[in-house]
């Protein structure tokens, strides 16, 4: 996933503490040892800087106006217009420390930690730091002491857990949190990074949390930001940065779907600066693509727009091919597919329901709900040439790509709004396609690694005579993985996305033989569709859900959407729902 530069050479020492202010659409950040605080207006791109007479560890806007800063060993208020500094509290006067990272909880209390002074860069006296909270009534309380390097803070969505990083022991801790009183208890080590990872990851530094409750941690001396699942402690995804000393991160932008990342150039030797000349800049993740399971690409010919979903992110997006703009809607349940409707809205597989979504108002109207007696969700779907929706379900994942078998079914939603179940005991209902003469329907169940064919009655929407046309051999599991989404081209050949295969494979529907392969820079390839003005482009989605660090190192673009050109083959237009 590419990054763009927000402010080149933003900091001459340690860039830190990014904070997105929603009201002004402004990014605040600090340069610790340059004693400077900045704000960058996202509209005008103008950067304003104030330099003071001590280190600045963090900056947070105040509801009273101005900003709160960690100035040396003080918590101070800075009036931006007048540059007047008012000291609110001073701590640790008996030892040489400074404030480092700081963040507010959901009630607006400030939590901030201290660290011993560096001498030389990157070397500090251990056990000198503490963690404080500053309540909204102005009172201060010390919660932890004997810290080495107090750093990243985050809170769970239910405000019952607080996450905290002490960098030197390379630990992320979790505490039970009482939001009403602002107190912590029951400290536990959530993640302890093993010594052998230090040369790769470096040390954990700043931290933020996303809407799915996953932690994003900047790694100093690691050149990356890594996403972790706090329930398992396992890494989920990684963003490689063009700077080795990555320091902190925050979400921002109009929809909070951009990540701003700070880094340091303090103490960088010439060799490191030659390799990472952008050290000290502020970066922005341009587009996250799909943060979990990218799926269900659908090309809308009328608007020249690509629709797709991110299943576990519970979001549906559309990409305008003319402007390059992406619009995204976040909902409350998993979204398995998206198909435009002739009424102007879209149909989505929303949890266990088929629902209408009005894009402009975000209004959801449930049309059907299924399988209320078991734990399933809708997965892939497609319309037949008459505009009926065919959509399948699957059991919920126990872990990535591991489901209880035979919990799913295949349904048809007719243009009059009626629904009918056609198959049951399906494991993972997936790709669908129809032959040009409408006499054959193709269908994938991923777990048995089969592509099936049915005789199809286009007038009644009825399949019959199920048979296997492609059975992936057991010895191909490591190369082809599992068949997932599917499309058909104008020559009647089937294109199948291969999950864990990193490819899209073309099959002859008559012989079942492989006839062409397109390798994809994402191992967990999920689905595809044809699109573009002449339907000679192929759009491919993939997943980054559950990817290990090793896998993400090899496939850093996992979760992206790819466009394949120059195939010399045209696809068949997708059909919208006619109901």
Confidence of residue 211 (pLDDT cuts 50, 70, 90): confident
pLDDT at 121 over 80: no
Which secondary-structure segment (H or E) carries 554?
helix 549-554
Q: What percent of the chain has pLDDT over 70?
A: 98
Predicted local confidence at residue 119, as pLDDT: 72
What number is the average pLDDT over the span 191-214?
A: 93
**Reported pTM:** 0.65
What's the rounded Cα separation, in Å, for the pair 418 and 517? 39
Whether the Cβ atoms of residue 368 and residue 361 lie closer than 8 Å to each other? no
CA 472 to chain centre: 31
In terms of Cβ atoms closer than 10 Å to its own Cβ (0-12, 13-18, 19+), residue 398 is exposed
pLDDT at 287 over 60: no
Predicted local confidence at residue 544, as pLDDT: 86
pLDDT at 282 over 60: yes
Predicted local confidence at residue 86, as pLDDT: 97
Average pLDDT, the chain: 94
What number is the average pLDDT over the span 153-174?
A: 97
Residue with tokens 């009273």: 64
Confidence of residue 239 (pLDDT cuts 50, 70, 90): confident
Query: What is the 8-class DSSP label of residue 332?
Result: S
Predicted local confidence at residue 549, as pLDDT: 72
pLDDT at 198 over 80: yes
Query: What is the distance between the terminal CA atoms of the chain, rounded to a whole angstrom?
Result: 38
What number is the average pLDDT over the span 480-485?
A: 96
Full set of structural domains in the chain with CATH? 3-285 (2.120.10.30), 294-564 (2.120.10.30)
For 353-418, where are the E strands, in sequence order? 353-357, 364-369, 376-383, 389-395, 397-399, 402-403, 408-413
What number is the average pLDDT over the span 61-72?
A: 96
Predicted local confidence at residue 289, as pLDDT: 57
Predicted local confidence at residue 291, as pLDDT: 67
- Annotated catalytic residue, options 345, 484, 489, 536: 484
pLDDT at 290 over 60: no
Q: What percent of the chain has pLDDT over 90?
A: 86
Three-state secondary-structure class, residue 144: strand
Q: Which is it for strands 346-350 and 335-340: parallel, antiparallel or unpaired?
A: antiparallel
Contacts of 310 (CB under 8 A, 6+ apart): 290, 291, 292, 293, 294, 295, 316, 317, 335
Burial 138-175 (b: 16+ CB within 10 A, else e): eeeeebbeebbbbbbbbbbeeeebbbbbbbbbbbbbbb
pLDDT tens digits for 36-55?
999 999 999 999 999 999 99
Three-state secondary-structure class, residue 199: helix
Predicted local confidence at residue 36, as pLDDT: 97
Three-state secondary-structure class, residue 475: helix
What number is the average pLDDT over the span 510-516?
A: 95
Q: 3-state secondary structure string, 418-471? A: CEEEEEEEECEEEEEEECCCCCEEEEEECCCCEEEEEEEECCCCEEEEEEEEEE
Predicted local confidence at residue 400, as pLDDT: 67
Q: Which of 249, 269, 267 is nearest to 259 (CA)?
A: 249
Q: Which of 394, 214, 225 is nearest to 295 (CA)?
A: 394
pLDDT at 433 over 80: yes
Predicted local confidence at residue 217, as pLDDT: 97
Predicted local confidence at residue 235, as pLDDT: 87
pLDDT at 122 over 70: no
Residue 484 known to be catalytic: yes
Predicted local confidence at residue 111, as pLDDT: 98
What's the rounded Cα separation, in Å, for the pair 133 and 460? 67
Confidence of residue 292 (pLDDT cuts 50, 70, 90): confident
């Amino acid at each position: 996933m590419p990054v763009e530069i927000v402010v080149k050479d933003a900091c001459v020492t340690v860039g830190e503490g990014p904070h997105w202010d929603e009201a002004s659409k402004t990014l605040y950040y600090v340069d610790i040892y340059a004693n400077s605080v900045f704000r960058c207006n996202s509209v005008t791109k103008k950067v304003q800087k104030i330099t003071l007479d001590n280190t600045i560890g963090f900056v947070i806007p105040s509801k009273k106006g101005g900003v709160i800063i960690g100035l040396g060993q003080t918590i101070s208020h800075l009036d931006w217009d007048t540059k007047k500094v008012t000291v609110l509290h001073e701590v640790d006067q008996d030892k040489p420390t400074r404030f480092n990272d700081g963040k507010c909880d959901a009630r607006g209390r400030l939590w901030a930690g201290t660290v011993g002074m560096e001498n030389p860069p990157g070397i500090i006296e251990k056990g000198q730091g503490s963690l404080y909270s500053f309540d909204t009534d102005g009172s201060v309380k010390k919660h932890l002491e004997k810290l080495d390097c107090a750093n990243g803070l985050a809170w769970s969505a239910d405000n019952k857990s607080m996450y905290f990083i002490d960098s030197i022991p390379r630990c992320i801790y979790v505490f039970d949190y009482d939001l009403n009183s602002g107190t912590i208890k029951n400290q536990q080590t959530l993640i302890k990074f093993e010594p052998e990872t230090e040369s790769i990851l470096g040390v954990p530094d700043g931290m933020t949390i996303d809407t799915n409750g996953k932690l994003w941690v900047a790694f100093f001396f690691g050149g990356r930001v890594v996403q972790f699942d706090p329930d398992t402690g396992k890494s989920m995804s990684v963003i490689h940065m063009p700077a080795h000393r990555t320091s902190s991160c925050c979400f921002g932008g109009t929809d909070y779907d951009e990540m701003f990342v700070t880094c340091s150039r303090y103490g960088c030797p010439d060799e490191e600066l030659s390799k990472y000349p952008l050290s000290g800049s502020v970066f922005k993740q341009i587009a996250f693509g799909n943060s979990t399971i990218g799926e269900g690409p659908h090309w809308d010919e009328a608007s020249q727009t690509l629709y797709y979903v991110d299943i576990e992110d519970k979001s549906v997006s559309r990409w305008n091919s003319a402007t390059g703009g992406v619009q995204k809607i976040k909902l409350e349940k998993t979204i398995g597919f998206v198909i435009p409707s002739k009424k102007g809205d879209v149909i989505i597989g929303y949890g266990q329901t088929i629902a209408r979504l009005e894009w402009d108002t975000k209004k959801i109207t449930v049309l059907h709900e299924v399988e209320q007696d078991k734990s399933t969700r809708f997965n892939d779907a497609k319309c037949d040439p008459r505009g009926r929706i065919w959509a399948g379900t699957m059991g919920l994942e126990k872990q990535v790509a591991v489901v209880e078998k035979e919990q799913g079914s295949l349904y048809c939603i007719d243009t009059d709004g009626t629904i009918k179940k056609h198959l049951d005991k399906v494991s993972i209902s997936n790709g669908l396609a129809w032959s040009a003469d409408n006499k054959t329907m193709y269908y994938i169940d991923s777990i048995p690694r089969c592509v099936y064919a049915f005789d199809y009655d286009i007038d009644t929407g009825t399949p019959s005579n199920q048979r296997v046309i492609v059975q992936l051999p057991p010895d191909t599991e490591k190369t082809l993985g599992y068949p997932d989404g599917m499309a058909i081209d104008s020559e009647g050949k089937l294109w199948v996305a291969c999950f864990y295969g990193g490819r899209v494979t073309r099959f002859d529907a008559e012989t079942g033989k492989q006839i062409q392969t397109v390798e994809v820079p994402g191992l967990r390839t999920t689905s595809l569709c044809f699109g573009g003005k002449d339907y000679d482009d192929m759009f491919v989605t993939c997943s980054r859900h559950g990817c290990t660090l090793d896998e993400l190192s090899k496939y850093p673009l996992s979760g992206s959407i790819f466009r394949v050109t120059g195939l010399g083959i045209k696809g068949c237009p997708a059909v919208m729902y006619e109901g």
